[in-house]
A = this chain, B = another copy of it.
Amino acid sequence: MVRGRSLAGELIGNINFTDYFWLLLTGSVPSAAQRRVLDATLVAIAEHGLVPSVQASRMTLAAAPEAFQGAVAAGLLGCGSVVLGSSEAAGRFFNEIARMQAAGEGVEQAATAVVKDYRAQRRAIPGYGHPLHKEADPRAHRLFEVAKEAGCAGRHIEICGVVEKLLPELVGKALRVNVSGAIPAVLLDAGYPLVALKGVPLLARTAGLIAHLLEETQRPIGFVMSHAAESAIGYDGTVPPGFEASHD
């Protein structure tokens, strides 16, 4: 019995995994539009190459191959505030603006007020900018497209665009919305619960980590990466007189 439904009688074989995830979180089966948007966001961030949490996960499997689950766990532990947490943070940011709007404020006024408030508290604007690129993130662009195709683009996507337009003036830099900004915008417009936003990157990355670890068991690179990483850092502590470095 799960969420009022019989697991063997009603769910297995009749519902796909994405729908079941939505059901577990909310108690209802999603509409076709909701399913499509959730799938798109999960696909958008499941895999992103050899990011730090994937490296940590692969090194952990190389060192402790008896515990595949431990390597997955190690990878998830790096899905924190700096990397994947910005999805949830951006959702809260858009939600603040949406609430001011719902209380009667114009969208530009509301966005300006919330951005200024974040800056006053020296908080970064979550969901915008990228350490390396200045152009638009193609994944973000595609997610907005999918939401429109699915017929559920709404207020949060609008807010997301308004903020992007205002940022050059408000913070002095042209920061483009990134994938961590687009994900909460499309999910909130689809009716996905704000409090459950952090579940999306975590579930998605678990899929990506499992695929990386499967590859690690077949084509190991954990220790190779570790060696390269170690070589990039020099010891600069004190040494006793006459000491010469060995490489143990």
Contact = CB atoms under 8 A, between A and B. Distances in A.
Given A4-B238, A62-B52, A229-B225, A13 B149 contact: yes
A50 B229 contact: yes
A36 B60 contact: no
Contact of A233 (B42, B46, B221): B221
Contact of A53 (B38, B60, B224, B239): B60
Interface string A28-47: 00000001101110111011
Nearest to A7: B139
A153 interface: no
Contact of A43 (B4, B11, B137, B204): B11
A222 B56 CA distance: 10
Contacts of A36: 13
Interface residues of A, number: 112
Interface stretch (A114-122, A154-162, A167-175, A240-248): A240-248
A224 B131 CA distance: 13
B225 A232 contact: yes
A91 to B, nearest CB: 14
Contacts of A25: 210-211, 214
A8 interface: yes
Nearest to A13: B146
**This chain's copy number in the assembly:** 4
A74 interface: yes
B77 A207 contact: no
Interface string A61-83: 01111111111111011111111
Nearest to A5: B240
A102 interface: no
Contacts of A82: 62-65
Interface stretch (A93-101, A104-112, A195-203): A195-203
Nearest to A224: B232
A237 interface: yes
Contacts of A224: 232-233
A1 B44 contact: no
A103 to B, nearest CB: 23
A130 B3 CA distance: 24
8 contacts: A3-B238, A16-B35, A17-B17, A60-B78, A64-B80, A66-B80, A73-B77, A130-B248
